[in-house]
């Protein structure tokens, strides 16, 4: 069983369902059948009562669309089943994809949009400092704690792309920072920063948290909208419901805060 099954992020699930519904609504209805043409059995694709052979240029394009539509329909069926299993009522229609533009300022006159291009520019696991402290292995990467590995698994199992400790340049700093996680909400084409603190010394971590908070704010990022924080303490396993709640919150706020 996936570790994330008891902690389904409701708003994100609704967003994914509505995203798939939008994609399918924008695609043509395609029917696939077989016909004997000049003594040869061929796949034929039907769109708006017109037939296209699979070996024609248009037929080859329709074949790709047919495969994609089938994949999307299967994924939608799975997500709708998950919704019906865990939640009551219809999927809220207001949790739907829309254009959102958020910016990070690397200097006073250099801003980058937090979208998929920014995400792809980041290098995964880029922090060169204290690599010996990365001792927990998951899916090809060493993490600094079991909690961070669980977070990586949460994102992986929910289909959320992430970069672990990528190098980020922020306005006002002469050195890069390495955010614990930068995630991409594909359905919004929007990045979020996630900092996780293992509170072994609460006074020290309060200071570190305040410093990071100020650094991000100086680069134009808003707390609990562009950047969110989670915490764990020694001897207490990290509760993934915290992450699910935080993820729901930042998605909801992104959709409805101007």
CB 164 within 8 A of CB 143: yes
Name which of 8-12, 200-204, 221-225 the model is least confident about.
200-204
On the question of pLDDT at 189 being above 90, the answer is yes
DSSP state of 133: G
Count of alpha carbons within 13 Å of 200, Cβ hemisphere only? 1
> pLDDT grade, residue 1 (50/70/90)?
very low
pLDDT per residue as tens digits for the range 203-244: 777 777 788 889 999 999 999 999 999 988 877 788 898 999
Q: For 143-152, how does the pLDDT look when each residue is reduced to its tens digit (9 = 90+)?
A: 999 999 999 9
224/250 Cα distance (integer angstroms) = 6
pTM strictly above 0.85 = yes
Whole-angstrom distance, CA of residue 96 vs CA of residue 187: 9
Calpha distance 229→246 (Å, rounded): 8
CA 8 to CA 160: how far, in whole Å?
A: 13
Contact 72, 20 (CB under 8 A): yes
Q: How far apart are CA 189 and CA 91, in angstroms?
A: 21
**The pairing of beta strand 190-198 with beta strand 227-232:** parallel
Could you give the strand order of the β-sheet that contains 40-47, starting from the edge strand earlier in sequence? 31-37, 40-47, 50-53
Contact 14, 188 (CB under 8 A): no
Identify the sign of the CA torsion 211, 212, 218, 221. Answer: negative
For 158-182, how does the pLDDT look when each residue is reduced to its tens digit (9 = 90+)?
A: 899 999 999 999 999 999 999 999 9
* Closest CA relative to residue 146, chosen from 38, 154, 5: 154
Q: What is the pLDDT of residue 4?
A: 61
């Amino acid at each position: 069983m996936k570790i994330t099954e008891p902690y389904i992020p409701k708003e994100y699930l609704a967003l994914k369902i509505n995203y798939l519904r939008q994609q399918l609504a924008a695609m043509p209805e395609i029917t696939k059948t077989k016909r004997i043409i000049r003594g040869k059995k061929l796949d034929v694709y039907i769109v708006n009562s017109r037939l296209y052979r699979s070996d024609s240029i248009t037929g080859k394009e329709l074949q790709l669309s047919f495969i994609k539509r089938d994949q999307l329909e299967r994924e939608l069926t799975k997500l709708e089943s998950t919704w019906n299993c865990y939640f009551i009522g219809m999927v809220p229609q207001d949790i739907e994809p829309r254009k959102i533009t958020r910016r990070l300022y690397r200097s006073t006159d250099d801003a980058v949009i937090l979208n998929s291009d920014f995400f792809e520019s980041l290098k995964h696991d880029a922090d060169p400092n204290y690599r010996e402290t990365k001792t927990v292995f998951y899916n090809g990467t060493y993490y600094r704690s079991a909690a961070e590995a669980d977070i990586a698994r949460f994102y992986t199992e929910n289909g959320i792309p992430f970069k672990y400790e990528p190098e980020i340049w922020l306005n006002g700093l002469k050195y890069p920072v390495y955010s614990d996680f930068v995630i991409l909400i594909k359905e919004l084409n929007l990045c979020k920063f996630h900092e996780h603190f293992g509170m072994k010394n609460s006074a020290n971590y309060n200071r570190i948290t305040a410093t990071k908070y100020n650094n991000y704010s100086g680069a134009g990022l808003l707390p609990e909208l562009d950047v969110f924080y989670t915490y764990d303490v020694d001897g207490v396993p990290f509760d993934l419901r915290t992450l699910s709640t935080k993820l729901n919150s930042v998605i909801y706020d992104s959709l409805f805060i101007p």
